[in-house]
Structure 1
Amino acid sequence: MQRRSVLQAAALAGLSPLARADAYPSRTVRLIVPFAPGGTTDIIARIVSERMQGLLGQTMVVDNRAGGGGIVGATEIARAAPDGYTLGVATVSTTAANPAINPRISYNPLTDFTPIINIAATPNVIAVHPSFPARDYKGFVAELRKNPAKHSYATSGTGGIGHLQMELYKTLAGVFVLHIPYRGAGPALNDTVAGQVPMIFDNLPSALPFIRDGRLIPIVVAAPQRVAALPNVPTFREIGLEPVNRMAYYGIHGPKGLPREVVDKVNAAVRKAVEMPDVKKRIEDTGSIIIANTPEQFAAQIAAELDVYKKVVAQQKLKLD
């Protein structure tokens, strides 16, 4: 009898994550945010993870791993054990823009992750410091053409969506602005608001509080239509630059090989969280649109976005500095 108990204990200890997935989660879950605190990725992750904790019955710890336009954090997600205890936020920067322009990335965005759910999508915005000599798009582009080597712009990092979209904008608009990369949107915003950098290409949720306070001036947004919070600000489509008019997404994914039971539990928890009125309001108040789709739908979105940015890089001959 004692020998049988020992064998049973050994067998249980040796069960694969797939075989034990029905008990998930039985301990703390780490959610890697591949950017510094304060940016949109961080904001969305914290809003949702707060409620996911109660739904999953375990603590969720947000772990900011900034660097390389999201590459550092994304690489850590890809290398994690496929047991569901290390998940990460998937963004356009980490799964499409950066992989499209950076040949040195060590992960494949289509094969090295398990897509779980796209939480929300959000507009992007070009905003300037109040000291900038223009407060609307017409004056903005006129100033850039008049002084082609004078101004610079901040982004969350080299190869991120802000960098790639701004470089595409520069090419299509025929202007030049120097890129100043940061280790996340938070630090980039701080320096732009402080006037250290005159402009930023950022996700709207992280920039919007500063816009509302008058510490940043919105110039143009990437959105399907004008944003309710910025009714006087045109979209890139309106100014004739449709290729730049793409929104960002914020989803959750894990390393490849994540058990389907884990995927389904996390997907269900996110769906329930974003249905809560307070969570829904907090996300929508940032200017974001809740998506909450299936793993398969999110995987298709990632593949489509990667294809778009690969074509942008090839057509515009974009390269890292």
Structure 2
Amino acid sequence: MIRKLLALALAGVSLTATGQQWPTKPVRFVVPFAPGGTSEIVARAVAQELSTALGQTVFVENKPGGAGVIAMTEVSKADPDGHTIILGHVGTLAVNPYAMPKHPYDVNKEFAPVILLARVPNVLAVAPDVPAKTLKEFVALAKAKPDSITYGSAGNGSSGHLAMEYFMAESGIKATHVPYKGTGPMLQDILGGRVQATFTGAPALMGQISAGKLRALAVGSHERMVSLPNVPTVAESGYKDFETSQWYGILVPAKTPKAIIDKLAAAADKALKSSGITAKFAKDDARAGGGTPEQFTTFIRKEQATWKRIIEKTGLKIE
């Protein structure tokens, strides 16, 4: 081994580039949204297991704002040494590039996908005082008084924003969007009666739904959720082929050495199979991801094609 390392050094090959000594310090895991949402739940569960697998602390840093652009821009310029990684999701990777008139970076050129972490169902839920017990009644209520219903999301370009815009286009309703800097602040306002509805990731809502503080009307996934067996899917409720889920994965700056990307992907894939994460994800109805960087890249490209069509249909713009 010593001879191999010496040979690499003499050849001008850095040990970091080979991935052999990475990580040499704590790894910063940036989340582009405020605390309290599904993104943070996924990131913290994975960070805990990655810390054990890598032998270095992986710490989560929330950096909300600008539909994820602030965090993505910063990480795109970070040293490509594997010590700064970011949680990418459907909004930052598949929607912003097409919905933002002035998108400040090229997602496909300035980031390298590492691994898909999870897919999470979105749930359309309302405050208890909203007089709609089913999705059909919710649509009727919204059509009777256009723009009278307000819905909250984790921010412009968040998956909750996208899910509701997609549903409004399919159902023909109009509701007023109230963007927040994360799911946590949004939940405070919907519980306080300042907004009436949301179409957000299940993990962040389940506690409030179970406590009767929110009413689930439909789920956006293809199948019903195990924890909400009596709540129909949007497709079951009359909107054939409708599907919208949140998904999350790890990315790094584009020039990060392949050896580091592969090592991080292998560690994350192992972490996703650990009992700690499988139990946590099962509780939140999240489906663990996994696989290779190449598979995650293919997944992102497919999602980009899907959301490009939806954005062209809905006319969604994120300023």
| Coarse TM-score class (shorter-chain normalised) | over 0.9
Q: Is the 8 A contact 1:154 1:188 kept in 2?
A: yes
Residue type matched to 1:174 in 2?
A: G
Aligned residue in 2 for 1:117: 115
Q: TM-score, normalised by structure 1?
A: 0.92
Deviations 1:116-173 (A, max 9, x none): 0001101111111111111221221111111213111001111222212211211221
Aligned residue in 1 for 2:3: none
TM alignment of 1:251-290, pairs within 5 A: 251-290=249-288
- Relative distance call for 1:144 and 1:303 in structure 2 (3 A) is same
Aligned residue in 2 for 1:5: none
- Relative distance call for 1:313 and 1:83 in structure 2 (3 A) is same
Residue type matched to 1:150 in 2?
A: S
Aligned residue in 2 for 1:31: 29
Report the number of matched residues.
311
Q: Is the 8 A contact 2:101 2:317 kept in 1?
A: no
Residue type matched to 1:119 in 2?
A: L
Q: Is the 8 A contact 1:74 1:88 kept in 2?
A: yes
TM alignment of 1:211-226, pairs within 5 A: 211-226=209-224
CA distance in 1, matches of 2:28, 2:177: 32
Q: Check if 1:294 corresponds to 2:292.
A: yes
- Relative distance call for 1:38 and 1:189 in structure 2 (3 A) is same
- Relative distance call for 1:141 and 1:272 in structure 2 (3 A) is same
CA distance in 1, matches of 2:216, 2:70: 30
Deviations 1:180-233 (A, max 9, x none): 001111211221122211111211111111111111111111112111111121
Q: TM-score, normalised by structure 2?
A: 0.92
Q: Is the 8 A contact 1:115 1:295 kept in 2?
A: yes
Where structure 1 has 5 or more consecutive residues not aligned to the other structure, the ranges are 1-7
Where structure 2 has 5 or more consecutive residues not aligned to the other structure, the ranges are 1-5
Tell me which of 153, 156, 164 is aligned to 2:154.
156
- Relative distance call for 1:68 and 1:242 in structure 2 (3 A) is farther
Q: Is the 8 A contact 2:113 2:296 kept in 1?
A: yes
CA distance in 2, matches of 1:244, 1:182: 25
Aligned residue in 1 for 2:169: 171
SS of residue matched to 2:268: helix
Range moving further from structure 2, 44-53 or 231-240 = 231-240
Q: Is the 8 A contact 1:98 1:161 kept in 2?
A: no
Residue type matched to 1:44 in 2?
A: V
Residue type matched to 1:201 in 2?
A: F
Q: Is the 8 A contact 1:126 1:221 kept in 2?
A: yes
Q: Is the 8 A contact 2:224 2:233 kept in 1?
A: yes
Aligned residue in 2 for 1:196: 194
- Relative distance call for 1:25 and 1:176 in structure 2 (3 A) is same
Tell me which of 56, 59, 78 is aligned to 2:57.
59
Deviations 1:51-78 (A, max 9, x none): 1111101111101000122221122221
CA distance in 2, matches of 1:143, 1:79: 47
Aligned residue in 2 for 1:136: 134
Residue type matched to 2:86 in 1?
A: G
CA distance in 2, matches of 1:33, 1:238: 33
SS of residue matched to 1:123: strand
Aligned residue in 2 for 1:96: 94
Residue type matched to 1:251 in 2?
A: G
CA distance in 1, matches of 2:256, 2:92: 19
Residue type matched to 1:99 in 2?
A: P
Tell me which of 25, 41, 44 is aligned to 2:42.
44
CA distance in 1, matches of 2:265, 2:83: 14
Q: Is the 8 A contact 2:16 2:22 kept in 1?
A: no
CA distance in 2, matches of 1:269, 1:288: 20
Q: Check if 1:304 corresponds to 2:302.
A: yes
Residue type matched to 1:175 in 2?
A: I
Aligned residue in 1 for 2:248: 250
Q: Check if 1:237 corresponds to 2:241.
A: no
SS of residue matched to 2:193: coil
